Amino acid sequence: MATNDAPERPAGDTAGASVGPGRLSRRTFVKAFGAALLAAAGGVGLVRSRGYVKPPGATLLALSASEYAIVSAIASRIAATDGVDMPSAEEVGVARWVDGYVAAMDGPLRRDLLRLLQYVEQLAPTAVGYASRFTRLSAADQDAVLAGMEASRIPLLRGAFGALKGCIYLGYYRDSRTWKGLGYDGPLLGRTP
Amino acid sequence: MTLFEEGRNRTGPATLSVDAVVVGLGAGGSMALRQLARAGVSVLGLEAGGRHTPAQFNQREDEMLPLLFQDGGGRMTADLAIRVLQGRGVGGSTLHNTNLCKRTPSAILEQWALDYGVSGASAADLERSYAAVEADLSITEIPEDAINGNNRLLQRGVSALGWRGGVLRHNRVGCRRSGFCELGCAYDAKQNAAKILVPQAMEAGGRVFSDARVDRILHDGSRATGVAGTFVDDAGNATFPFEIRAKIVVLGGSATGSAALALASNVPDPYDRCGRGLRLHPGSVAAGIFEQPVDAHRGIPQSYECTEYLEFGRGAEKRVWILTAFAHPIGTASMLPGFGAKHMTRMRKYRHLAVFSAMVHDETEGRVIAGEGGRPLLQYAMTEADRRQLAIGLRACGRLLLAAGATEVTFPAIDAPTVTTDAALNALSMDFIRPHTLAMSAVHPMGSMALGDDPKRSVVASTGEHHQLKGLFVADGSLFPTSLGVPPQWSIYAFSHHLSPHMIDAIKR
Ligand SMILES: Cc1cc2nc3c(=O)[nH]c(=O)nc-3n(C[C@H](O)[C@H](O)[C@H](O)COP(=O)(O)OP(=O)(O)OC[C@H]3O[C@@H](n4cnc5c(N)ncnc54)[C@H](O)[C@@H]3O)c2cc1C
Ligand code: SF4
C-alpha cells in the first residue's frame, strides 16, 4: 500500500481556535488544554508525515491523509453497527463526506475541527493510559478512548466529544441505506405527505 | 433598478446612499424593512445568507442544515455545552422554525416596565402590532385533526395527570403535514418573513441584497452613518466590498449577530451593557419508548403544550415550558446517549420514540462577545436555579411519557439514565442534569441589546434607538430584557412593527 505522499499543510495551520461543528474560542481552548495542546501541536508535523495511508479515489478537499485516517477510525467506532443489516461507516463513506463538510466550513471552525482530530489521535489515548496513536489501537481500545472523552472530567472535552459525535452521525445517517434499519422512510417529496 | 440582488452574482463593489439600511432579514429585520418601505423611505435590506426558495428544500438533513443554519447547525456556546440553532438566509430563522405563535405574557411586559424601565410597551400599547402580525402571518389555532402521534401522547399524558395544557397556534396556510418544518417547507406553507414580508417590502419599493455580510457599523461616535461589509460567494468567501451610507441603521441580525456586530464596530458602550443579558431559553428532552409506532417525524411537529410548570413575572417559581420535540435521524442520533453498537440499537426504536422537551424560562444572563472576524461568541453559564428548573421539567416530561403509556423513559445524558416506572423516576438522582453531561440545545436566543429608558441598564431606549449612537436602531430578538418563556417570533415581529414609527421619525429628524 502506498503511504501518504500528499502535500500536508504546515503544522501552524492547525493552531486554531474552536472545535467544529460547534465553536470554541481560541482563548478558551488553549486555556483548557494548556501545555498538552501545545505539545500536540509540536507533534503534528511528525504525525502527519509518517505512516498514514493515502485514501483511494478522488483527491481530498480539506483533510490531509492523516486527518482522513483519523476521521475514518473515529467514524468506524462512533457509527459501529449492531447488526448486518446496517452499512458500515466505511461503506457509507463517512470520512469522504466529512472531508467535503470541512471544506465548506469557514476558517476558524475548520481549524478547530482539525485541532480536535489531532487531540483524539495523540493525546486522548494517553488520558486513558495508552501510549499509542488512536489510529493504531484495537477497536476495543479505541472505544475506551472515546468513552474516556465522552465522560471526561474536563467539561470542554465532553462538549468536544458531543460535537464530534454530531459530525459523524451527520455523515452516517445522511445515507438512505441506514434509514431502512430505523424504519425511516425518508423525504416525502414526490410522494403524498 | 433591480429590487432584489443576489450578492453572490456581483461582479464588483457597491456604494449606495439610502435613508435606511436594515442589517439581517429574519423576523425583526424583515418587518422593519417592510414598514420602512411602506412609509415611502428609501430602504435597503442586507442579508448575509442566501435567498432560498421552497424548490431547494429537499427534506434532507445533511443538505438543509448547512444551507439554512448558522455554522451548518453546529453553533454552540463557547464552552460547547449548549447547541444554539439559528438561521441564515433571507427570512432568517423563520425559514426553518416550527411556526408556533404565542404573545409575550402580560406579566413579563409588566415586569419590564417595573424592573427594567421599559416604557410604552404594555399589552395595550402592543395590541395594534400583535394584531397586525396576526393578520399578516395568518396566525390561527392548529386544527385538532392535525395533532400527530407524538403530540397526541403529550395530550394524553397531560389529561391522565390532570395537568394544564392546550393546543397551540401557528402561522401555516396549506400545510401538508409532512413533518419537515425544521428543514424548510418544500410546500411553501409557512407564512414567514421570506414569503410574506420581504415581497411586501419590495412591492413598496424596498431593496434587498442577499449574500451581503455587514462587518462594520459606520459612525462618528455619536451618530450612525451607514454600514460596510462584503458580498460573499456560495462558500461564504468574501468577494467584493460594499459601503452603504444611511440616515438610520436598523439591526436585525438576531440576539447574537447584532450585539457581535455592534461590539466589533466599537459602538460606544460606556456602561458595558452591549452583549450582556443574553437568554437562551435552553432545554433538553426525555424520550419514551412505546409499543406501537409513534412516527413522531410525520405530521406537524409541535402542536400541543403543557404549561403545568410555567409561570411568568417577578419571582415565578415554575419556569419550564413543556412541548414535544422531534427530529429526523441525524438530529435524533446526535441527541440519543452513547455511541457505537449500543447507540444504534437505540436508534432502531426510532419509529417507537416519543420525545418531550423542557425549556427553561431562564434567568441566567449570558453574554455575546465579538470573536474572531466579528463572529458571535456566546458565553453562558447556567445558574443553579435554572439547573433545578430543568431537572423539574425533565422529571415532568418523564412523568408525562409514563402516564401516556411509555414502557421506558431515557434521558440524553452520558450514562443514559433510564426508568420504567414512576417510582423509579421519583427515585432517580437528577445530578446528570448539568452542562456537558446532558445534551442541551437552544432555539430561542433573546436579549443582549436590551430595551429600557436607563442608559446604565439598557442598550437601546424604549423607542428602539441606541442610547449613545443616534440613528442606530435594534429590531430583533436582542431587544428583550428577560426571557419571554414562550416562543419569541410573534413578539419579535410585533416589537419591530411597534418601533418602526420611531425609525421613520428619526429619518425625518
Ligand atoms: C429549529 C427552530 C425552531 C423554532 N421554532 C419557533 C417557533 O415555533 N416559534 C417561535 O416563535 N420561534 C421559533 N424559533 C425562533 C425564531 O425563529 C427566532 O426567535 C426568530 O426568527 C428570531 O428573529 P430575529 O429577527 O431576532 O433573528 P433571525 O430570524 O435569526 O434572523 C437574523 C438574520 O440576520 C442575519 N445576519 C446576522 N448577522 C448579520 C450581518 N452581520 N450581516 C448581514 N446579515 C446578518 C442572519 O443571517 C439571519 O438571517 C425557532 C428557531 C429554531 C432554530
Ligand atoms: S408540516 Fe406543514 S409547514 Fe411543516 S414542512 Fe410540512 S407542509 Fe410545510
Q: pLDDT for A86-118, tens place per residue?
A: 999 999 999 999 999 898 887 778 888 999 999
Q: What topology is assigned to B4-54+85-136+182-277+446-508 in CATH? A: FAD/NAD(P)-binding domain (3.50.50)
- In this predicted model, which residue has the larger pLDDT, A94 or A20? A94
**pLDDT single digits (tens) B394-420:** 999 999 999 999 999 999 998 889 999
- In this predicted model, which residue has the larger pLDDT, B210 or A85? B210
C-alpha distance from residue B382 to each of B297, B313, B386, B433, B439 (Å) = 30, 20, 6, 11, 14
For cell 412505546, the residue is B290
- Residue A50's pLDDT is 63
| pLDDT surpasses 50 at A49 | no
> Where in B296-434 does DSSP place strands (E)?
304-306, 320-324, 353-360, 366-370, 376-379, 408-410, 418-419
| pLDDT surpasses 70 at A8 | no
Cα B242 to averaged position of ligand 2 atoms, centre (Å): 37
- Residue B1's pLDDT is 64
Q: Where are the domains of chain A?
A: 24-52, 65-177
- Nearest ligand 2 atom, CA B299: 1
**DSSP strand pairing (B224-232 vs B212-219):** antiparallel
Give me the residue from B60, B330, B344 closest to A81, CB to CB. Answer: B344
pLDDT band at A33 (very low <50, low <70, confident <90, very high): very low
Residues of A in contact with B65 (CB under 8 A): 170
- Nearest ligand 1 atom, CA B30: 25
**pLDDT single digits (tens) B276-325:** 999 999 999 999 999 999 999 999 999 999 999 999 988 889 999 999 99
Q: Where are the domains of chain B?
A: 4-54+85-136+182-277+446-508, 142-169+283-361+383-434
- Nearest ligand 1 atom, CA B489: 11
- Residue B24's pLDDT is 98
| pLDDT surpasses 70 at A35 | no
- Cβ of A169 within 8 Å of Cβ of B334? The answer is yes
- End-to-end alpha-carbon separation of chain B, Å? 28
Please give the backbone phi and psi of residue B127, each rounded to the nearest 5 degrees, phi first.
-55, -45
| pLDDT surpasses 80 at A21 | no
| pLDDT surpasses 90 at A37 | no
Q: Which residues of chain B have pLDDT under 70?
A: 1
Torsion of CA B246, B248, B254, B259, to 10 degrees: 90
- End-to-end alpha-carbon separation of chain A, Å? 49
Residues 6+ apart with CB under 8 A from A126: none
- Residue B96's pLDDT is 96
Angstrom distance (rounded) from CA B152 to CA B165:
12
Share of chain B above pLDDT 90, in %: 94
Angstrom distance (rounded) from CA B229 to CA B258:
14
Task: Please answer whether residues A17 and A24 qualify as being in contact, where contact means their C-beta atoms are separated by less than 8 angstroms.
Answer: yes
If residue B63 lies in a helix (H) or strand (E), which one and from where to where? helix B61-68
Residues of A in contact with B83 (CB under 8 A): 22, 166
CB atoms within 10 A of CB A40: 19
> What is the CA angle B444-B73-B242, rounded to 5?
90
- Residue B235's pLDDT is 79
Of the candidates A152, A93, A97, A89, which has an alpha carbon nearest to the alpha carbon of residue A119? A152
Q: Which of B80, B351, B379 to mutate to test the interface with A (most CBs of A within 10 A)?
A: B80
Share of chain B above pLDDT 70, in %: 100
- Cβ of A24 within 8 Å of Cβ of B371? The answer is no
Please give the backbone phi and psi of residue B451, each rounded to the nearest 5 degrees, phi first.
-75, 155
Angstrom distance (rounded) from CA A6 to CA B353:
46
Angstrom distance (rounded) from CA A111 to CA A20:
8
* Residue B119 to chain A, least CA–CA distance (Å): 37
Residues 6+ apart with CB under 8 A from A176: A186
Cβ neighbourhood burial of B83 (10 Å; 0-12, 13-18, 19+): buried
B184 Cβ below 6 A of ligand 2: no
Ligand sitting nearest the alpha carbon of B49: 1
**In Å, how far from its chain's centre is CA B473?**
19
Residues of B in contact with A179 (CB under 8 A): 329
Grid coordinates belonging to B312 = 411568568
- Residue A191's pLDDT is 74
Give me the residue from B65, B298, B334 closest to A165, CB to CB. Answer: B334
| Window from A41-50, A173-182, B196-205, B392-401 with minimum mean pLDDT | A41-50
- In this predicted model, which residue has the larger pLDDT, A23 or B33? B33
CB atoms within 10 A of CB A177: 12
Cα B462 to averaged position of ligand 1 atoms, centre (Å): 22
Nearest CA owner, ligand 2 atom 8: B185
CATH 3.30.410 fits B142-169+283-361+383-434, yes or no: yes
Task: Please answer whether residues B443 and B68 qualify as being in contact, where contact means their C-beta atoms are separated by less than 8 angstroms.
Answer: no
Residues 6+ apart with CB under 8 A from B346: B336, B337, B338, B410
Residues of A in contact with B342 (CB under 8 A): 82
Ligand sitting nearest the alpha carbon of B183: 2
**In Å, how far from its chain's centre is CA A63?**
10
- Residue B314's pLDDT is 84
pLDDT band at A193 (very low <50, low <70, confident <90, very high): low
- Cβ of B414 within 8 Å of Cβ of A20? The answer is no
Please give the backbone phi and psi of residue A105, each rounded to the nearest 5 degrees, phi first.
-75, 150
Grid coordinates belonging to A49 = 508525515
Of the candidates B499, B506, B504, which has an alpha carbon nearest to the alpha carbon of residue B204? B504
| pLDDT surpasses 80 at A11 | no
Angstrom distance (rounded) from CA B123 to CA B110:
8
B172 Cβ below 6 A of ligand 2: yes
CB atoms within 10 A of CB B138: 13
What's the per-residue H, E or C state across chain A? CCECCCCCCCHHHHCCCCCCCCCCCHHHHHHHHHHHHHHHHHHHHHHHHCCCECCCCCCCCCCCHHHHHHHHHHHHHHCCCCCCCCCCHHHHCHHHHHHHHHHCCCHHHHHHHHHHHHHHHHHHHHHCCCCCCHHHCCHHHHHHHHHHHHCCCCHHHHHHHHHHHHHHHHHHCCCHHHCHHHCCCCCCCCCCC
Cβ neighbourhood burial of B375 (10 Å; 0-12, 13-18, 19+): buried
